[in-house]
A and B are shown apart, each in its own frame.
Chain A
């Protein structure tokens, strides 16, 4: 019995040590990452300060409590005293608690003022949360792109081994320059999302109809991984954030390339497309942008997401089909893709869905070209 008690006491004594070593270790598997920016470092320092204050208060209160439980146990013959109040003691600990809180509030306010700064950045990036991907637009250069999860469905379903960056990798990361004040303007396209990069200590909700701001200034190049932190529907866990910070020259080259690509895309709109070209492009566009809801086989998840196979619209009504893709369906999860994607993309995905899954044989098989989309846009603008 004595032996058991000794082991038990030893265990209780060692426990805080284990936890504190876990928590103060630099490994971010147990604790908040220190991050790479000045703000993230201040926040980490603040977090540890508050944590240790809580630990000290906890140790004091719990020691008194457990000591009393031990010392005044009836089995040892303790007889209860009969005091039940002490005015000055009550005042004393109320004042003490208040002072400790003031001690916490001062540095918290300082760090908050440091982190909160909505002045313009040298680079301003509009971040839009979509179900379920991020869109990044460089406001100065008017170029933008979507960033989708690149982990394969097979990895998620456990059919193949999971890679090192399982669920933390995207097809195209956001690229920002180092040692530059970068401001993020964050908004939502459909529901509320939240854009979080722990290493920058930036977390801002992406809310439809609002533009929130946040900023960072990253000193060293690197790849930083984050997540969406506001429940946004089925694929909330599957829309990670990846940011690549690069030296200024590399960043400029990246932007130049994006600008050129955008120019090329504009040229493509006027080009004459064959059915096969449209189909190929449409198939891959469908896989990244539509399959989440309508599924790879086009059958959807009725009644929530309708099947596109054999539907009146996909087989016989190409005008309605264009309209749905351009405007979305009000009051439903079907977004207006036309606002964010090029005419080529929209035309090719429409053509693809009208041909695939035997829609082509059974329906009218109309081919929609980028020029049709341009024509639609012109009609709407009138």
Chain B
């Protein structure tokens, strides 16, 4: 082990004061905090856009915004939620928790860490600023299919491309740091197959990121060339191929959706074992399941393109490979249930969110399986059924994982317990509104309402009104979450080191004080 573990007897234990603490910090906890707050702010910005969308769709007809602005809202909502909320939140959690879970003092590459974070506000500053430019921001959907995003795009698309490049650099640097940390800084005795599942999930995610972010960078660069330098990668009139865009995009895009769920798998596994007071069932099968999901995720991309006109053999191949992914996903669900079986279960807020995660993510998995069935997908594709599917895996999936993690580790981070009554209230309001919002989307989708529509036929009106009511309720409820987080930071019952009953045996993070010292483990613990 080459890492030098300093013994901190020279006096400057705490962080710097004021703004420079945050601008120049190389501390994993400070950077983690920055990531988490950034993601939280973006959640409200992206959420506000969703509110605009739902307000317009409350009734048939155009009443609040015009289609050109509506398209900018759907596009930026998607981009912000994917790249600005879910991904940064997971990186923030990785920053906070990886060193604490593997018994290290900090991340391996602290300056790189600072850079990866500060790139993000720049990227999103650029992206959001386009909304205030005369031609408006990106309006071609978060999947930005060419040629709508090239030949037919507003010229602000160049800012969008630049901003995607910066996000990509940030993700790649972050992943390098995470992989380096995990491989080099584990406490003695912590073999790979003894690593906590959250660490495993991030190790796999980081590899996925390194593999696919360059592909995303490649595709936006080709767009840049088409738009400004007269190439014709995606321009049919010049001999190019618009379908090529989709292949390259989804080669990035499908692994990307697993980037957004694997860390949540890790988190939920920890929470379920903690509150079932029973070790996770099938640890090694959990690890293998994540690894196989990650590998399979590279060979299913064209299931997003069943209607572009692939040959029969291609359609069947991508149907079968996609169905295969359901196996490891199912195994994970079975293992979570088996962990609860014969446990001694309590229902604190993180556990409630995790139980809801298992139930509702599974519903998203079922609709995913239905979407994989090519002939049926001819009817589902690009309707609200798909919108329902990915919101079930992303909101009660990824986002619930993040919220559960926040409740689970907040007492550790701040040293204060959160208010359990408010936490439960937050859970129930969220749980109800999430279902009121997204469940009826299955129905309108099946009945034939296409996605990315600012206006719709009359037979969809009732469900859309209901969906909008659910969405407003969901949006308001998250203000309660903000309140709870701030309240916990400022006050609350003093948290013990192990925080949760019996958690002391479950992971190294629970052996540290709450809040933990500025440099997590200055002496490496020994793992048995």
Contact = CB atoms under 8 A, between A and B. Distances in A.
Interface string B125-139: 000000000111001
B320 interface: yes
A196 to B, nearest CB: 7
A39 B277 CA distance: 52
A178 B326 CA distance: 41
Contacts of A203: 307, 378-379, 381-382
Contacts of A155: 61
A320 interface: no
A166 interface: yes
A366 interface: no
A43 B242 contact: no
B148 A78 contact: no
Contact of B337 (A65, A83, A226, A230): A65
B327 A94 contact: yes
A202 B63 CA distance: 32
B63 to A, nearest CB: 6
Contacts of B330: 93, 97
B524 interface: no
B373 A108 contact: yes
B315 to A, nearest CB: 6
B209 to A, nearest CB: 27
B51 interface: no
A204 B307 contact: yes
Contacts of B346: 73-75
A47 B324 CA distance: 19
Contacts of B344: 72-74, 78-80
B141 interface: yes
Contact of B376 (A43, A194, A204): A43
A80 B278 CA distance: 6
Given A61-B362, A80-B278, A97-B327, A229 B381 contact: yes
How many B residues touch the partner, as a band? 35 or more
A29 B307 contact: no
B423 interface: no
B63 A158 contact: yes
A162 B63 CA distance: 13
A113 B313 CA distance: 10
Contact of A192 (B148, B347, B379): B148
Contacts of B147: 190-192, 208
B281 A157 contact: no
Contacts of A94: 327, 331
Contact of A50 (B236, B370, B381): B370
A233 B152 contact: yes
Contacts of B454: 237
A112 B457 contact: no
- Please indicate which of the listed interface residues B136, B240, B455 has the most CB atoms of chain A within 10 Å of its own CB: B455
Given A30-B443, A104-B373, A235-B67, A192 B242 contact: yes
A207 B244 CA distance: 11
A121 interface: no
Given A89-B338, A90-B331, A210-B243, A81 B278 contact: yes
A46 B376 contact: yes
A300 interface: no
Nearest to B68: A234
Contact of B236 (A104, A194, A210, A212): A210
Contacts of B60: 162, 166-167
B319 A210 contact: no
A115 interface: yes
B285 interface: yes
Nearest to A113: B312
Contacts of B375: 39, 42-43, 46, 108, 111-112, 115, 201
A229 B382 contact: yes
A73 B340 CA distance: 10
Contacts of A46: 373, 375-376
A343 interface: no
Contacts of B428: none
A10 interface: no
Interface stretch (B42-50, B101-109, B445-453, B511-519): B445-453
B234 to A, nearest CB: 10
A105 B374 contact: no
Contacts of B323: 101, 104-105
A191 B340 contact: no
Given A58-B363, A234-B67, A50 B378 contact: no
B276 interface: yes
A304 B148 contact: no
B40 interface: no
- Please indicate which of the listed interface residues B134, B151, B344, B366 has the most CB atoms of chain A within 10 Å of its own CB: B344
B309 A31 contact: no
Nearest to B281: A84
Interface in B309-344: 309, 312, 315-316, 319-320, 323-324, 326-327, 330-331, 333-334, 337-338, 340-344
B251 interface: no
Given A58-B366, A209-B242, A162 B62 contact: no
Nearest to A164: B458
Contacts of B312: 112-113, 116
Contacts of A109: 316, 319
B190 to A, nearest CB: 18
B343 A78 contact: yes
B309 A210 contact: yes
A236 interface: yes
Nearest to B339: A84
Interface in A1-50: 22-23, 28-33, 39, 42-43, 46-47, 50
Given A32-B379, A192-B242, A229-B383, A157 B61 contact: yes
Contacts of B277: 74, 80
27 contacts: A30-B446, A31-B447, A33-B447, A62-B362, A68-B340, A68-B342, A69-B347, A72-B341, A73-B347, A74-B346, A75-B346, A78-B345, A82-B279, A84-B281, A90-B282, A90-B331, A93-B331, A101-B324, A112-B316, A207-B242, A207-B308, A209-B241, A209-B242, A212-B309, A231-B452, A234-B68, A236-B71
| Top-9 shortest CB links A-B | A209-B236, A212-B309, A237-B453, A229-B382, A54-B366, A81-B342, A80-B344, A208-B236, A84-B279
Interface of B: 60-63, 67-68, 71, 134-136, 139-141, 145, 147-148, 151-152, 154, 236-237, 240-243, 276-285, 307-309, 312, 315-316, 319-320, 323-324, 326-327, 330-331, 333-334, 337-338, 340-347, 355, 358-359, 362-363, 366, 369-370, 373-376, 378-379, 381-383, 443, 446-448, 450-459
